A = this chain, B = another copy of it.
């Protein structure tokens, strides 16, 4: 397997693009195209350099990657549309990575895009009984997991609120985030109840967006200055064959995140203690707590306390969700995983501006999706 570099990345602002209430009107392919153009410019490459493309999306219907690529005249090449729920574009990234690593292609494009459905969003619950029992919207299932996690590990709702507070604070410095304003613990705890005990500000906001990355073999890289390479890119699924795989419940250990993390650390030769920065899946604020533990950044039941101590702040021991995470950047399902990767890339290139983690040289991103699956990639400089 060859070493694979990330040559360039692109991102749109995550926002509502429905043309209503002052928001601009853009289609999912516009968002994808915008991200692709940025990534190509960053990589100093042309559309004709791309040899294969992998595009993650969930709700865009047929041919979403082809649409975005056609928009920027990247045509005639192999294009694979990947639907892996919230890890769609990180799964697409992995296919692009594997293709270059295996020598199938020298330069590949990974894209993520999503214009989220408005109004009622059917969750990714897929068994009839799940829907009948009320798991037809995401917070319902996460609420149960949260209750169980709190019962088992003694976390508090204040700690869960602190996740939102931290991520919103980080996003103040991220012009691509949907929300660039701080919130307080009190505001989280007093926001509208969605599914007990989860409140509005425990949930990631609706957003549309696009993200892209150009991957290439070392010799195709235009500049090797601060070269970022892929140390590992893994994909797992929950070993229990059920729709909902809680990250916290003992009976289910090891879960998909633990298995994926183990694989990623083994392949990369790094451990959790080597990570300078991480993007951890935070679709609901408590998820960041248990996912942080499952990724091995601390022991089970510890993350809430460490959060209070600032360990996961930008100037902490292991900064998490430096760009605001799903909770502040927003969560256009198909674009989320690559947006996480873009942040890690920028951090390792020391281009993250006011939210830069000093000297970051190894970073991890982690996306969970229904399936249930788990995608983890580790980048290094």
Instruction: Please report A residues at the B interface, Cβ cutoff 8 Å.
Output: 29, 58, 61-67, 69-71, 73, 75-85, 91, 95, 98-99, 102-104, 122, 124, 126, 234-243, 256, 259, 369-373
Contacts and interface: CB of A to CB of B under 8 A. Distances in A.
Contacts of A84: 63, 79-81
A82 B80 CA distance: 7
A76 B370 contact: no
Nearest to A122: B61
Q: Which 8 A-B pairs have the closest CB atoms?
A: A76-B239, A102-B102, A66-B371, A70-B241, A78-B235, A75-B241, A62-B124, A63-B371
A373 B66 contact: yes
A98 B256 CA distance: 25
A236 B239 CA distance: 34
B373 A79 contact: yes
A261 to B, nearest CB: 14
A64 to B, nearest CB: 8
Given A82-B80, A82-B81, A237-B79, A70 B102 contact: no
A328 B185 CA distance: 63
Contacts of A81: 82-84, 371
A210 to B, nearest CB: 16
A243 B68 CA distance: 11
B66 A372 contact: yes
A242 B58 contact: no
A73 B241 contact: yes
